[in-house]
Structure 1
Amino acid sequence: MLSTILLFIDLFFIKSSAAYVDIFPNPYLIIVIYAASRYGTVFGFIDAFINIIYMFISILTYYGSIDEISKSLDKLDLFKYPIIYLIMAFIFGILKDIENIRSLNLKNQVKEREQIIDDLNKLIEEHQNAIDNLKEKLTIEDKGVSMLVEKLRNVHINKLEDVYNEGVELISNFIGAETVSIYNLEQNGFLRLKVRKGKGLLRNSLMPDDSIVIKYAIKNDVANINVMFLTDEESKIDFEPSMVSVIKSLDKIIGLVVVENIDVNKLNKNTESYLRIVSDWLSSMLSSSLAINKELEVVMKNEDGTIKNNYYEKFLEDYLTRWNKFKMPFSYLKIKVNLKIRKKIISSKRAMDIVFEGEENEKLQFIFGICDKIGLEKIIERFKDIYGDDVEILERGSYSE
């Protein structure tokens, strides 16, 4: 750009100078030196060639013809400036290239040093975490069982739902697990989620044989993910839990405590022992609570299997508590049905669902456990597909994220 301006000035304004050959320092040479020292050898040579072309255009315009140039200028005078341009472009360009290489090397060295520092910081952090975990492990090994037993002794349980809630809270807080769940083992052999604290990684319902860790836990009362290294079996689920312990009632498995996710440094025999202790506590508490619950059901239930309407708010409060604490989704539904299909609808519910009598005989109220908005819509669609106009939706709602 600057060279073009110089050529324009030379051709149309000065007119007495042929490419500034009689001016020192030569402006074209200054531009070549600037370009080479600023941008390096390649750009310096490009600029030098452009300025050489401009120089010859200026000289040719000034003298009018090549013959006149030959008569007026010595060949040495004619070619010395192009040679000087190229030499200056090379010298200053090389110096700039050397500076660029040195700067690039320094930047790379800085990056390497920063990476080394980051790696060292990570290593220090890992060692610090290992030291903290070791301190925690030693403390828990020294006082762990007595601390846990003391916690269990101080737990106050008022009803069955509290047993599940306190169970996941205790395990999660005491062993530092990210996700803890309790599954009920239903009569049809399915495991269905009852309560969960943390981000869910396992399905809400599954068969025991779907998970290798769960299968080993049912066989040996407790198991952790290390059993995956002892078998060639392939898991049927995408994610295996870290640790599982069974809940029993009269030597019969009624559920599982599932530690879905925990820091690998806490996956040890001590944690397994604490999980067993809490599982045994749950077994004892659930056995007592289930027995009491059966006696209460006699009072709460009608002959057709529905729960009396005056208990609806009490059950709803329990589900709301679990939603507020653990974000466990649930849905409610109020329908009006033809009396001829009432019995059929009541008998089609899942074990985890609750059916309440309505204010009138043809009305029913449902609370669906572990059921989000999408699940509720599927239930309504199924009712409509099977029963058609015999079912009228009066009220619906969901608590889900």
Structure 2
Amino acid sequence: MLKIHATVKKYKLSKYFEVLTGLIGLTVVNLLFFRSDPGFINVAPHPYWIVILLTASRYGFSGGAFAGIAASVFFLLFRTLALPDLAMTDFKSLAMWGKPILFFLVGVVIGEMRELNIKEYNKVCEVRDAYKDAFDKIKVKFDVLSEAKQEVDSKILSQESTLGTLYEAAQGLRTLDMESIYPAVLEILREFMDVDDCSIYRLEGTEFKLDTAIRHGKSFVPETVPFDEGLMGLAAAHKKTVSIREVASTESMPSGIIISAPILADNQRHVVGVLNVEKMPFLKFTSDSLRITGLVADWCGSSVENATVFKETKHKLIADEIIDAYTYDYFKRRLKEEFMRARRYELDLSLIMLEFPSLSNASDEGREEVLMAFSMILKNQIREIDILFISEKPGAFFMLLPTTPPAGARVVVNNLLNSFKALSVMAFETDQNLVELRAGVAGYTIGMEDPMELVKSVEEDVVSVLFAE
């Protein structure tokens, strides 16, 4: 069956195949369900019209003529078989030849009408294809001219792309967020040098590891590159910006790097990564592009160094000066000290957790303002030996109460709830989001081995309390 279909398609015999298939299908239906009337002789309108009309309206003159002839042959065959004693008068009668002639004429007429439509459609298609070809040729010329214009325009150093303007754009690197520095560096290259593909690799041990990349295509970017390989290794070794002009072999250019600049920190003494340019307009690849890439890499190194120093300094701080409470890192260290003291001398030790669920989705600025107010209340309600900490969860506090049993800690919690309720009536009358406080209390018990068991206990004890209505 597949071979027949392939042959029909190959020699464009679909119309003949469909006509014969349709007539044979009607014949099968006739012989199976309407045996009393072979060939549908007495049916009006005759089912053969379905095949004739569909074929003629689809394939035109040749299809309609063939369908009319084939339908006539089938009809004459069944008409002859229906008359066992066929006389000459029967053979010449209109009943014998009327429908076959009508089949043929209708197939030819409708087919010819469709043929005219097909020819007209083909002419329109030829005109359309001619216009499309002309458009494609013009588009190719336009694209070539546009690309040439873009490269010529990019070659002209305008006043807006001077180093002064570049320096203004680099002010975006004055962030202390390490994750924001590298994307900002690549955006500067893309904006001021029309760079298509660029990347930054961090130096980790004896290899470079991909950190951030900009890609306009699907070019491959290796995740790691050995320290002594290609332009990156050359730039890191000499601590200066290098290009493919300084490399004798293309084997030394992994991933098609054309410019590589070292990112230096610690007063330009240590390489922390490299800034790579993999793809850019040919006319932009000049000595100025090397100079700008090196300059941006220097700015990047300074920003990375500042962010690193800030991060290290922040980790060393034990108190949050804005909220006026100790940090969570210091909480873990101090909890361990107080826990060991309570276990050694069998002293009471309680931990209170206060959490404001509504602050978890608040902005950093809004959360800090609310926590500052609550911190002042907490400071006024606890003893000097009690210690207030910020939790790692947004909008939550830990309070460590040395030499205080859980019962005493619950009294402190009740006093705090009364203070919060009074504050909420005054400050949060119109804000229905800040009406809930979650509080929990836990105390050291004999048998505890790990300070975090105390944290786990207080988190399990946390219950929700409405303090504004």
**Normalising by the residue count of structure 2, what TM-score does the alignment of the two structures yield?**
0.45
By how many angstroms is 1:198 displaced?
A: 4.6
* Aligned CA-pair RMSD: 5.9
**Is the contact between residue 257 and residue 276 of structure 2 (CA under 8 Å) also seen in structure 1?**
yes
By how many angstroms is 1:268 displaced?
A: 0.9
Distance 1:49 1:281 in 2: 86
Alignment-mate amino acid for residue 50 of structure 1: A
Equivalent in 245, 260, 263 of residue 247 of structure 1: 263
Distance 1:227 1:101, change over 3 A: farther
**Is the contact between residue 7 and residue 54 of structure 1 (CA under 8 Å) also seen in structure 2?**
no
Equivalent in 64, 68, 72 of residue 51 of structure 1: 72
Equivalent in 216, 222, 225 of residue 241 of structure 2: 222
Distance 2:207 2:43 in 1: 96
Give CA deviations for 1:148-206 in whole Å, capped at 9, x if unaligned: 35655x678476959946645544443344565544434x3233456x47569745654
Give CA deviations for 1:123-160 in whole Å, capped at 9, x if unaligned: 424533442442243034996345435655x6784769
**Is the contact between residue 185 and residue 255 of structure 1 (CA under 8 Å) also seen in structure 2?**
yes
**Aligned counterpart, 1:191:** 208
By how many angstroms is 1:244 displaced?
A: 1.8
Answer with 45-54 or 255-264: which moved more.
255-264
**Is the contact between residue 246 and residue 256 of structure 1 (CA under 8 Å) also seen in structure 2?**
yes
Answer with 220-229 or 245-254: which moved more.
220-229
Percent identical pairs in the alignment equals: 14
SS in 1 for 2:318: helix
**Aligned counterpart, 2:42:** 11
**Aligned counterpart, 2:289:** 271
Distance 1:232 1:193, change over 3 A: closer
**Aligned counterpart, 2:414:** none
Alignment-mate amino acid for residue 310 of structure 1: I
**Is the contact between residue 185 and residue 296 of structure 2 (CA under 8 Å) also seen in structure 1?**
yes
Distance 1:171 1:356 in 2: 44
**Aligned counterpart, 1:42:** 63
Answer with 52-61 or 219-228: which moved more.
219-228
Equivalent in 139, 142, 151 of residue 121 of structure 1: 139
Distance 1:90 1:241, change over 3 A: same
Which structure has the larger Rg?
A: 2
**Aligned counterpart, 1:139:** 157
Alignment-mate amino acid for residue 65 of structure 2: G
**Is the contact between residue 309 and residue 357 of structure 1 (CA under 8 Å) also seen in structure 2?**
no
Alignment-mate amino acid for residue 308 of structure 1: K
Question: Which protein has greater RCO, CA pairs closer than 8 Å, 6+ apart?
Answer: 1
By how many angstroms is 1:106 displaced?
A: 3.5
Equivalent in 241, 250, 264 of residue 231 of structure 1: 250
**Is the contact between residue 180 and residue 260 of structure 1 (CA under 8 Å) also seen in structure 2?**
yes
Distance 1:255 1:358 in 2: 32
Distance 1:205 1:77 in 2: 89
**Is the contact between residue 56 and residue 67 of structure 2 (CA under 8 Å) also seen in structure 1?**
no
Give CA deviations for 1:1-48 in whole Å, capped at 9, x if unaligned: 99999998863799xxxx9xxxxxxx999x968954653313531332
Report the count of equivalent residues. Answer: 302
Distance 1:32 1:213 in 2: 75
Distance 2:178 2:58 in 1: 77
- Which sections of structure 2, spanning at least 5 residues, go unmatched? 1-21, 323-327, 340-391, 393-448, 457-469
**Aligned counterpart, 1:308:** 316
**Normalising by the residue count of structure 1, what TM-score does the alignment of the two structures yield?**
0.50
Distance 1:391 1:240, change over 3 A: farther
**Aligned counterpart, 1:110:** 128
Distance 2:213 2:44 in 1: 86
**Aligned counterpart, 2:166:** 148
Distance 1:13 1:155 in 2: 86
Residues 1:65 and 2:54 are matched in the alignment: no
**Is the contact between residue 35 and residue 44 of structure 1 (CA under 8 Å) also seen in structure 2?**
no
Distance 2:231 2:54 in 1: 73
